[in-house]
Amino acid sequence: MFHSKKFEYMNNNIFRYSGKILLGALIVTGCSDYLKEDSGDLLIPKKVEEYSPMLYAEGYPSEFNDDVAWFKLMTDDVESGRLEIDSLGETYLDKDGNAFDILESGEGKQAYTWNVDIEEKLTDNFWNARYENILACNIVIDALPTMEVQDSGKFNHLAGQAYALRAYNYWCLVNTYAVPYAEENMEKAGVILRTTPQVDIQARKRSTLRETYKLINEDFEKAEKYMEGSTAADNIHLLTKPAVWLLGSRIALFQENWDEVIRLGELFMESNAAVYDLNSVDPELLTNINDSKGFCMMDGLVNPEIVFTFGNSSYMYDFLAITLSGYNYGLGFRPSAEAENSLLKSYEEGDLRLQAYFKSDKPGETDKWGFYTEATYNYQYPIKYRRRYSTGAEKPNEKLFHENWRSVEVLLNLAEAYVRKSNAIDQQAIDLLNSLRRGRISTDKYVDKQMADFKNSDDLLKFIWAERRRELCFEEAMRFWDLRRQGMPEIEHRWYTSWNSYETYTLRQGSPNYVLSIPSSELTYNTDCIDNAREVINAK
């Protein structure tokens, strides 16, 4: 669960960190014992410069995208099916199903079919990883009152990061392992609140949803206050004032605190209203299937929407099939395209996101030597974070392998808040939607949305939610989190048992399976932690 490594005290009284060092040592011995004055050759951290590297290494999520990869299988953005050829092609029904089956081991099925015991074949690392990050935040927060302050701006930035990261990690936990925020749910179980700088292995009950959100909101308030006095560099790898505003707008949105969403959203938009215009991208780059030359939406060097990036995983879409030379896969997971409410069908004609966010191979073609290459994959798969090499560079751009927070999320949060607060067809919300869509729809197809295009406020709200799905697909676990707060709708999944047969699993509206079980890693030692009840979903 945790990592332990030795650390050294080097020249100029500065810690040298190698991976997970200070936190590992604190975990082994406990902060209070480890930092004693009489601990021999060990040093008591006192300065901001001594805590900042540890917080970056331990408080920031590092493998978040791997931890949530299987969350996407529980949503309507993913379907299973045949992979070799286009499902709309003439030869679809005649295709030989003898190709290698990417799903033959059943990998991913537990999540995709909302099994009672998802961990039967999957390991849930998300819970533990968030508490590892929280522990690092606790260490910094606990040390703040006695920390030597030579530069108040740097101190405030460190404190702001610690509180914001703790709020974010608890927000992730409560929106995964507890029921959605609602007044009738406030006394139901939230998550375990750990706020001390020591590893907590005592039996501990889950706090209520009310208590959990109280801590999240208090942490955010402190983070915002500290960030006001920070002197953070303009670095998208670190939380800064705009990123904290974005986080706050998200936290408020999920609590339906429309005034707070609007306050923070308008603060953010004053200086960070960027929408990357896909019409400005070279069409050849946008449609190039070559990963080394094609366009990448999540390139932090070129996309002005990105205000924060984190994580270091090299592959964003575990469980979703991709084209790999030399392999002919039979069945697998792919972005949903067949059902009427599928993700890919939700994009209208001229929506450039279909090219910028997804990729499908071109039909077979003959190269300059006369050799014919048959394209065996014609379905689309996500490429938001695909590998792209800079011109003349041997290594890919390091900023492409991270989760990103983008200005367009705040835009969508704000649009929803305007509609929900006014309970009307709000012109401000429509203006925000137009500013987003103008940068996403090709200029020859784009038309501004008008108030007359919507029957009522609910119609506009559903459109905002649809834009949110189209825009934020396959980022963090946003679709899963959004489905929970949007009424936990019914979802139907087909699980292919062979090339020509499938079983149907239906997650009913409001199902308790929208809440994940507490992982076995917690339940095996924490006897006071009560698990979430889930229901059996049988195939039909």
Q: Give the C-alpha separation, 32 to 113, whole Å.
A: 45
Higher pLDDT, 90 or 267: 267
Task: Check residues 123 and 361 and name the one with the higher pLDDT.
Answer: 123
Give 373's pLDDT tier (boundaries 50, 70, 90): low
Residues 327/262, Cβ–Cβ less than 8 Å: no
Q: In this model, does residue 38 exceed pLDDT 50? A: no
Q: What pLDDT shows up at residue 383?
A: 83
pLDDT-based confidence at 306, cuts 50/70/90? very high
Q: Distance (Å, rounded) from C-alpha 242 to C-alpha 269?
A: 9
Distance between CA atoms of residues 390 and 388, nearest Å? 7
* DSSP letter, residue 205: P
Q: Detail the DSSP E strand segments found in 295-339.
A: 306-310, 331-335
Per-residue confidence (pLDDT) for residue 469, from 0 to 100 = 98
* Comparison of pLDDT for 522 and 100, the residue scoring more: 522
Partners of 406 in the β-ladder = 306
Percent share of the chain, pLDDT over 90 = 64
**Residues 212-267 pLDDT 10s:** 999 999 999 999 999 999 998 889 999 999 999 999 999 999 999 999 999 999 99
Q: Mind listing the pLDDT tens digit for each residue in 406-423? A: 999 999 999 999 999 999
Q: At residue 307, does pLDDT exceed 50? A: yes
Confidence label for 131 from pLDDT (cuts 50, 70 and 90): very high
- 245-259, 310-324, 469-483: which has the minimum mean pLDDT? 310-324
Report for 19-23, 65-69, 321-325, 341-345: range of highest mean pLDDT:
341-345
Which whole number is the average pLDDT over 98-115? Answer: 72
Alpha helices in 362-504 (DSSP H): 407-422, 427-438, 457-472, 478-485
Of the candidate ranges 7-11, 54-58, 279-283, the one whose mean pLDDT is the lowest: 7-11
Parallel, antiparallel, or unpaired for β 331-335 and 491-498? Answer: unpaired
Output the pTM of the full model: 0.88
The pLDDT of residue 22 is 46
Task: Say if residue 323's pLDDT is above 50.
Answer: no
pLDDT of residue 315: 57
Question: The tokens of 143 are what?
Answer: 């040390």
Measured in whole angstroms, the distance separating CA 218 from the mean position of its chain's CA atoms is 23
> Is pLDDT larger for residue 108 or for residue 507?
507
pLDDT digits (tens, 9 = 90+) for 184-204: 999 999 999 999 998 878 899
Per-residue confidence (pLDDT) for residue 395, from 0 to 100 = 46
pLDDT at 251: 98
Q: What is the mean pLDDT of the chain?
A: 84
Residue 17, H or E segment: none
Per residue in 265-293, pLDDT (tens digit) is 999 999 899 999 999 999 888 877 665 66
Find the length of the chain: 540
Please provide the distance, in angstroms rounded to a whole number, between the alpha carbons at the two ends of the chain: 38
Query: pLDDT digit string (tens) for 420-434?
Result: 999 999 999 999 999
Residues 129-134: what's their mean pLDDT? Answer: 98
